[in-house]
Amino acid sequence: MSQKLVDSQIFQNFITMTVLIAAITVGVETDKRGDPSMNKAIDFGCLLAFTFECFVKIFACGEVCHAVHTQMLDSLSTCTS
C-alpha cells in the first residue's frame, strides 16, 4: 500500500511543490522581506511534509524488504525440503 503511495504521481508532485515552496521561503528569508512568523509557519509546514515523506518511504521500504526476505525464506525452505 505505502509503496503505491510513494510511486504515485500525486505524492511526487506534492514533494516537488514542497521543495519549491521551501526554496522560495529561503529566498524570501535571505532578502529579509516578508513576515518572519509566516516564514516560520511555512518552514514548519515544509518540515512536516518532509518528515511525512521520510516515514512513508521508510515504511514502504520495510514492506518491500519484508516481502523480499519472506520470499527468500520460502525459496530456501523449498530448496532444503
Q: Is the pLDDT of residue 5 over 70?
A: yes
Check if the beta carbon of residue 3 is closer than 8 Å to that of residue 68: no
**pLDDT number for residue 28:** 81
**pLDDT number for residue 79:** 53
> How many percent of the chain have pLDDT more than 70?
73
Give the C-alpha separation, 27 to 23, whole Å. 6
pLDDT digits (tens, 9 = 90+) for 32-69: 766 778 888 888 999 999 999 888 888 887 765 655 55
**pLDDT number for residue 35:** 72
Give the C-alpha separation, 32 to 42, whole Å. 15
> How many percent of the chain have pLDDT more than 90?
25
How far is residue 28 from each of residues 8, 14, 65, measured CA to CA in Å?
31, 21, 41
